[in-house]
Structure 1
Amino acid sequence: MRSSLLPTLALAATLTFPAFAADDAAKKPNDIKVVCATTSKDGSRAVQGTDLVIEAGDKVTDAVAVDGNVIIRKGARVDDAVAIRGRVIVEAGARVTGDAVSMGGEVRIQNGARVDGSAIALGGKLTVDKDGVIGGDRVSLSFEIGGKDLLRGFIEEALEEETGCHIIDEDDEDKGEDKDV
């Protein structure tokens, strides 16, 4: 089985992911609505500020949601699923061939769902229904004091400053220019 550096790599990639496109769905403090989403040539999808739903028949390399959930529907297949400040929900009949990871949220494996790799919930809980299958490790790490999860708080603080989207215009990409939204 492969070594899993996925949580660390997902965090680093998400914070530095430059190819987000803006939409009108999530609220920022100044009442500007912004949602970021991208699909890469290798079949990866990433969103910020909304849920990423992988529908039946879809095959996705990496599914990443920041401030949203990754929801994998029946008949969908994902190599790795990562939610930062959100949940990874693998519905009945869905399959994750690699790892399902949530940082600051829950990983939920429903009856009839399958995760071939590890299921990891950092700062949240791992919920596996009776007939849910996990081929690798099951990790749920949280630390609560007075009803507050300290690990989740740490993750939220670490990510608090990065709330905007970065848009790279393909024409400006060679010049190294990007624009914050």
Structure 2
Amino acid sequence: MEVSLYTENELNDVVAVYVEAFSKSEGENEGLVIGELAKALLETTPSQDIYCFVAKQHQQIIGVIIFSRMIFEEPLQSFILSPVAVNSLSQKQGVGQQLITEGIEYLKKQGVTLVFTYGDPAYYSKVGFDVITERQIKAPQPLSFPHGWLAQSLSGDDIPILTGDSICVAALNKAQYW
């Protein structure tokens, strides 16, 4: 398996991975919703505010992750990992974890100090994320699943307490995703 940065000519294949993976696990409607989210993130987010990584096997994309910028009142380099998808035939083989690990290493080299995600703590704890509360760091939208709010320090420091609001990129800043 090879992990690389996404290129624009891979858009349709990337969206297809999201649609297939989420349709199989969450239902067809959710697959379409997350496919549209991925497309919107990749088409509308300024290039300095997004990183997308693809996993390929035999030249075919089998997994995708997207990191997009988070902004706080305090100056720090932070991104949120969302969404993550691995096609149904390649799941439970470490593809997602390898994508996340390599993506985080890339971000660390770019000077990013804090990464967030919103999902299953049991899964994301395997790749270094810790559960946080909104008292510690406020999410951009109200959380429907508060114990799924997670962060990881890439600087070696403890996860800070940040006061004030957080802002994510426009495509992700919709209540339905939170």
**TM-score, normalisation: structure 1:** 0.30
The structure that is strand-richer by fraction is 1
Larger radius of gyration: 1
**TM-score, normalisation: structure 2:** 0.30
Structure of higher RCO (CA pairs closer than 8 Å, 6+ residues apart): 2
